[in-house]
Amino acid sequence: MTLKRFILFIVAVIAAIKAEAQAGFNYYEFGIGGGLSYERGYTNIPRQNNNIAYNFNLIYNYNPYLPMELEIQKGQLSGGGITVDKDRYGRKYVNNFMALYAHVDVQLGSFIDYGNDKFLNFAKNFYFGSGFGVVKNNNTVQRTNTIAANGPLNYVFPGQDKSYNYAVPLRVGYEIKIFDSYNEPGWAIDIGYVHNLVFGEGLDGYDDPTAKFKNNATNQYRQFAITFKYFFGNTVSYNKLVRDYGF
């Protein structure tokens, strides 16, 4: 091997090592996602059912541990029943809702120095987050009392079948990052719990007067969610290794 070829070989090796190391710092700026959740409401109706909802996400990665997301949800909440064992007044609702949320999830990797520590490299993907949103309620509601022993049968429960309510999601979970051939997080699976505080009385369609009924808590619904994500777009460098090759 001539000196010139040897020098070129050394330069190529150094460049390859540098490129591989740099790839460990890189992440994609954008992403899309989709998934489902197992959900339950907390409203004026004591008995609630579990249902499935679906979500679609548009993602902007401010950094690999700070995704900002626009999320659309479509699902169903339901509860009560027309017999006394399900609701003492025979109240029943089915809400085929849609919701739009903007939220930010902060992963621990944003502010801990995980270095080559195996435990911290595992813990760095835990996240918590919040944001704001709007829920579009589309209820089918049993409006009249069906239990004679608990009031007149002609009593009509007040409320609206269709309404909009503002909401705040409280989010915790863990993101499993899946790296592509460039050692960049090309995919992810998020597993989390979301508790949504909904301001107003539209979630179940009942706006019962507090003088007659217990109606003093904020409407809510919770979700056990899994979301699959695909990342793409511009490649951006972070100031810490995203992938620890020794982990």
Per-residue pLDDT tens over the stretch 19-65: 444 557 899 999 999 999 999 999 989 899 999 999 999 999 999 99
Q: Is residue 246 part of a domain?
A: no
The two three-digit tokens of residue 170, written as one number: 């409280």
Q: How far from 83 is each of 42, 87, 90, CA to CA, in Å? A: 20, 6, 6
- Residue at 122: amino acid letter: F
Question: How many domains does the chain contain in total?
Answer: 1
pLDDT (tens digit per residue) in 5-24: 545 445 444 444 444 445 57
Containing domain of residue 202, as a range?
A: 3-236
Kindly report the CATH number assigned to the domain that includes residue 117.
Answer: 2.40.160.20
Task: Specify the DSSP class assigned to residue 109.
Answer: G
Q: Is residue 244 part of a domain?
A: no
The two three-digit tokens of residue 237, written as one number: 């460098």
Ordered per-residue pLDDT tens for the chain, 247 residues: 565 554 544 544 444 444 444 557 899 999 999 999 999 999 989 899 999 999 999 999 999 999 999 999 999 999 999 999 999 889 999 999 999 999 999 999 999 999 888 999 999 999 999 999 999 999 999 999 888 877 888 889 999 999 999 999 999 999 999 999 889 999 999 999 999 999 999 999 998 777 666 666 789 999 999 999 999 999 999 989 888 755 5
What is the distance between the alpha carbons of residues 127 and 67, in angstroms, rounded to a whole number?
A: 10
pLDDT (tens digit per residue) in 187-197: 999 999 999 99
Using DSSP, state whether 146 is helix, strand or coil: coil
Q: Is residue 224 part of a domain?
A: yes
pLDDT at 213: 67
Using DSSP, state whether 8 is helix, strand or coil: helix
Q: Is residue 208 part of a domain?
A: yes
Q: Is residue 242 part of a domain?
A: no
Q: Is residue 138 part of a domain?
A: yes
pLDDT at 74: 98
Q: Is residue 30 part of a domain?
A: yes
Q: Is residue 247 part of a domain?
A: no
